[in-house]
Amino acid sequence: MKLKVLSDKTKDRIEAEYPKYPDKQSVLLFALRVTQGEHGHLSEDAMVDIAELLDLTPIQVYEVATFYSQYNLKPVGKYFIQVCKTLSCALVGSGSTVAYLEAKLGIRVGQTTSDGLFTLKLVECLAACGSAPMMQINDRYYESLTEEKVDRILDDLKRDGRSDLATGPFMLPMMQGQK
Amino acid sequence: MADYELILFKNMARPGYTGSLEDYQGLGGYTAFEKVLKLSPGDVIEEVKKSGLRGRGGAGFPTGLKWSFIPKDHKGPRYLCCNADESEPGTYKDRQLMERDPHQMLEGMAICCYAIGAQKAYIYIRGEFDLGAEILEKSIQEAYKAKLLGENLFGSGFNLDVVVHRGAGAYICGEETALLESIEGKRGKPRVKPPFPAIHGLYQEPTVINNVETLANLPYIINKGADWFSGIGTEKSSGTKIFSVSGHVKRPGNYEAPMGVTLREIIYDFSGGILGDKQLKAVIPGGASAPFMTPDQLDTPMDFESVAAAGSMLGSAAITVMDEDTCIVWAAKNLMEFFHHESCGKCTPCREGSAWILKILRRIEGGLGQPEDIDMLEHLCDGIGGKTVCAFGDAEIGPILSTIKHFREEYETHINEKRCPYRPDAALAMAH
C-alpha cells in the first residue's frame, strides 16, 4: 500500500487501534485525529490516505471529517484558541473575552495572526459552564478567564509552548480544602 | 435542607484523594464488582431495578429496566456504551466524575457489563476532553494490571475489555443512537427507533447506553443495597443528583444533593445567591433543552416528576441562572445559535426550522422584528415538535416556547420599540 502523505508513525498508530473494534471503519475518528495532530489540518491527500488504509472510499472519510467540529480542513495557527460562546459563558462575559483577544492579537474571529502563532475561533459549549468564561487552546482548557489571565496564558505559550494556567483534574467548587 | 451523605463526590471530597486505583481501593473500591460476580446477572438487574435508579443523562429512564431489555438468549456479542459525551449546555458534572474518581465509574461499568452479559464496553467521551481521556486511559491500564479488567476476573470466568473512544465535536453524539454511529466511524446521525439499541445497537448487537453519573452510582447500590438507595431522594426519583450550576450566581459549581432538593436551596444556599445580589429573572433547570422557569417556581423540588409538573424537565440537572438584567430574547437567540449549529441535518423540520427561528430571533433582538414574528415563531415550533427522528427537535423549541410563554411582553417590547431594551449595543456585543 502506497500512502502519499501519512507518515509510517501515524500509520502504525492507526493500525494499533484495530484490535479495539470489530471493523476498521470504527478507527476513522481516531485516524483523523492523529493525522490532524501530525499535519495540523486534514488535507485531501491525507484523507485519501486514510481511506486507503481503512478500506473506505474517500467520500466516507470526507463526510465524517466535515461533520465534526474538531477537524480542521484548513491550516490553523500553532495555538488554536477556541472560545466558548454558549449561554453560560455568554452570561458572564465571553463576549468581552473575545473582544479582548481580538484587540490583543490584532485579528478577528476566524483569522490567524500573521506570525502563524494564533488562530481565534468561537465554539459551542465545551462543558466548563461553572468556570466561565473559558477557552480551549489546542488540547487544554483555560477557565475563569480574566484579561490578566489571558495575557499570562498567551505569554506562557509564546515563551514556553505551554502554560501552568491550564486546568488540571476538574473540581468546582474545590472540596478538598484547597483554593 | 437536612444533613445528608454524599455518594458520588464522597471519595473526592476527602483531602488528598487522587482518584488512583490505590486510593479508590483503599476506600472499598471494586468490592462491589467482586460481590456481583458471585450473584446471578438476573439478581443484579433486579437489585438495580429495586433501587429505583434512573438515567442521569437527561431522559430519566429506569436503569434496571433498560438492562432487562437485553435479550437473554442472544448468541454473539453485547455491548455497554458509557455516554461521556457531556455536551448539554450548562452540564459539566461527568467531567468531574471522570477526572477526579475514574475508577468509580469503571467499577460501575464492570457491574453493568456483568449484569447484561457484555464482555466489551466503550466509553464515548467528547473529543474536547483531552485530559479526561488521558486520565481514563491511565486508569484502565491500572485496572488491567491489577486484574480488575481483562480475563477471568476474580476467578469467575467473566472477561471484560474497556475501550476509550473519543468523539470529535458534535452535540448530537450524546443522543444514544448517534453515539453508536459515531463509534462505528460515521457521521453522528440518530437512527430511527425502533429497533431500540437493546435489540439492535452497536454493530447491530444488543447494547446498553448509560451516562457516566448513572454508572457511578452502581458500586454503592450493590454494596449498600437497593433499599438504602431508594430511601434517598423522593419516591420516584431515588438517590442523589449532581446539579451543575452556572450563570449569574456567586458560587457556581457541581453540587450533589438528594433528589427533591428545591431550586431555591440550590441557587441561594449552595451557590450563594445571585451575583451582585440582583433579582433572579429566569432559570433553566435541566440543560439548554429544558424550558425556562421563573422566580415564582423556586420552591419546585428538583426531581423528575416535580420539574415536569412545573412545565420543564430535570434533564441533566444543569441549572443556568439569569439575573434581572438579562435580555431573554438574547438568551433564546444564543441557545438557538447553539441548536442551529448542532442540528445534524438529518430531519428537515429541525435543520431548516432552526435556521428560520434563529433568523427571526436575530431580527427581533436587532430591532427589526415584525408584529407577526411571535406567532411565526410558535408556528415554526409547531412544525418541529414531535416531527423529528430524535428528541433534538423537541429540545430546540423548549427555550423558544417557554420564553414566549413567560416573557411574551419582552418580545413585544423589542418589536414595538425597535430595539433591545437591555442591550442597546446588542448588535455589537456578540456580532460574530
Residue A178 confidence (pLDDT): 52
Based on its alpha-carbon atoms, the radius of gyration of chain B, rounded to whole angstroms, reads 22
Q: In this complex, how many residue pairs, one in chain A and one in chain B, have their CB atoms less than 8 Å apart?
A: 187
Contacts of B318 in chain A (CB under 8 A): 129
Contacts of A141 in chain B (CB under 8 A): 128, 131
pLDDT tens-digit series, residues B34-43: 999 999 999 9
Residue A179 confidence (pLDDT): 43
Contacts of B19 in chain A (CB under 8 A): 169
pLDDT band (50, 70, 90) for residue B211:
very high
**Cα–Cα nearest to A150, from A89, A111, A94, A87:** A94
Cβ atoms of residues B244 and B90 within 8 Å: yes
Cell of B90: 450548562
Mean pLDDT of chain B: 96
Residue of chain B nearest A51, judged by CA positions: B185
Residue B426 confidence (pLDDT): 52
Q: Which helix (H) or strand (E) segment is B161 a member of?
A: strand B161-166
Identity of the residue numbered A104: K
Residue B423 confidence (pLDDT): 75
Cβ burial of A7 (10 Å; 0-12, 13-18, 19+) is: middle
Mean pLDDT within B106-132: 98
Q: Is the pLDDT of residue B117 over 80?
A: yes
Whether pTM exceeds 0.95: yes
The CA-based dihedral angle spanning residues B271, A167, B322, B422, taken in that order and rounded to the nearest 10 degrees: 140
Residue B424 confidence (pLDDT): 60
- A117-120: Cβ within 8 A, 24+ apart: A117/A77, A117/A78, A117/A79, A117/A158, A118/A77, A118/A78, A118/A79, A118/A80, A118/A81, A118/A154, A119/A76, A119/A77, A119/A79, A119/A80, A119/A81, A120/A81, A120/A83
Residue A177 confidence (pLDDT): 56
pLDDT tens-digit series, residues A136-178: 999 999 999 999 999 999 999 999 999 999 999 999 998 875 5
Express as a percent the part of chain B with pLDDT over 70: 98
pLDDT band (50, 70, 90) for residue A2:
confident
Residue B425 confidence (pLDDT): 58
Interface test with B, best of A27, A47, A87, A98 (most B CBs within 10 A): A87
Please determine, for the modelled complex, whether the ipTM score is greater than 0.90: yes
Exposure pattern of B250-276 as b/e (b: 16+ CB <10 Å)? eebbbbbbbbbbbbebbbbebbebbbe
Mean pLDDT of chain A: 96
**Cβ pair B338:A70 closer than 8 A:** no
From the list A54, A69, A141, the residue facing B170 with the nearest CB is: A69
Interface test with A, best of B92, B283, B425 (most A CBs within 10 A): B92
pLDDT tens-digit series, residues B153-195: 999 999 999 999 999 999 999 999 999 999 999 999 999 999 9
Q: Is the pLDDT of residue A92 over 50?
A: yes
Q: Is the pLDDT of residue B288 over 90?
A: yes
Q: Is the pLDDT of residue B2 over 80?
A: no
Residue B207, phi then psi, degrees to nearest 5: -145, 140
Mean pLDDT within A70-81: 97
Confirm or reject contact between B248 and chain A (CB < 8 A): yes
Q: Is the pLDDT of residue A103 over 70?
A: yes
Cell of B352: 431548516
Express as a percent the part of chain B with pLDDT over 90: 97
Residue B209, phi then psi, degrees to nearest 5: -115, 120
Q: Is the pLDDT of residue B428 over 80?
A: no
Residue of chain B nearest A31, judged by CA positions: B185
Express as a percent the part of chain A with pLDDT over 90: 94
Euclidean distance between CA atoms B407 and A79, whole angstroms: 42
Q: Is the pLDDT of residue B403 over 90?
A: yes
**CA atoms lying within 13 Å on the CB side of residue B68:** 14
Outline where A22-93 has alpha helix (H): 28-39, 44-54, 58-65, 87-91
Cβ atoms of residues A111 and A126 within 8 Å: no
Q: Is the pLDDT of residue B85 over 60?
A: yes
Q: Is the pLDDT of residue B429 over 60?
A: no
Cell of B252: 457556581
Mean pLDDT within B201-212: 98
Q: Is the pLDDT of residue A42 over 90?
A: yes
pLDDT band (50, 70, 90) for residue A44:
very high
Cβ atoms of residues B71 and B116 within 8 Å: no
Helices (H) and strands (E) in chain B, counts: 18, 8
Mean pLDDT within B260-271: 98
Residue B431 confidence (pLDDT): 42
